[in-house]
Amino acid sequence: MSWSTDEMMTVAAARALRDGTSCFVGIGLPSAAANLARATHAPDLVLIYESGCIGAKPDRLPLSIGDGILAETADTVVSVPEVFNYWLQPGRIDVGFLGAAQLDRFGNINTTVIGDYRDPKVRLPGAGGAPEIATACRDVVIVVRQSRRAFAERLDFITSAGRPSMIITDLGVLRPDDTGEFTLTQVHPGVEAEQAVAATGWPLRVSPDLTRTEPPTEDELAALRGLK
């Protein structure tokens, strides 16, 4: 049985979600992980999307927060202001699942620009609801591919203040230490700690208690591939 690095990352992220909790989901890697969790060990996971879809149960990965499959399969659809003002900001959502273009060692997120703000090399999609999700959910998990470009010593712009409990990448898992700096605590099968250190733009600390992720099961891979 073989799998890709993205599949391992998605499986690891899905395992971080508990059944019966509510999850504010970002499109892309976070959405894949959340839908995999609901299709496997967490059938009662409540998926909430920024477009106002609460309890969405798509049988394929949505292309955007405006994908009709989210509204068609949701328990209810409310307005965007209601999602933020009634559900998110009062702390009613358990987990925020986010992606990022850049991260720093404290989990601050950039999804705005690469380069100078006034004359950027790349203009990114922007904040959307990420700043509110990053600060108002009870817990925050970031899912992102690890590279020196993405894991930056200094962010070009801080879109969302960092307070995630976990960063899950295609190489392993990072958690904050007592100072709030993210430390490598787990590597995926076939990955060595040195690879994660080399793919990080700051001197990445490695936990002395480093563990290894359990490989994906056949059921997890079948469920994930069935969502594509």
Q: What residues are annotated to the active site?
A: 50
Cα gap 23→165, rounded to integer Å: 14
Q: How many residues comprise the chain?
A: 228
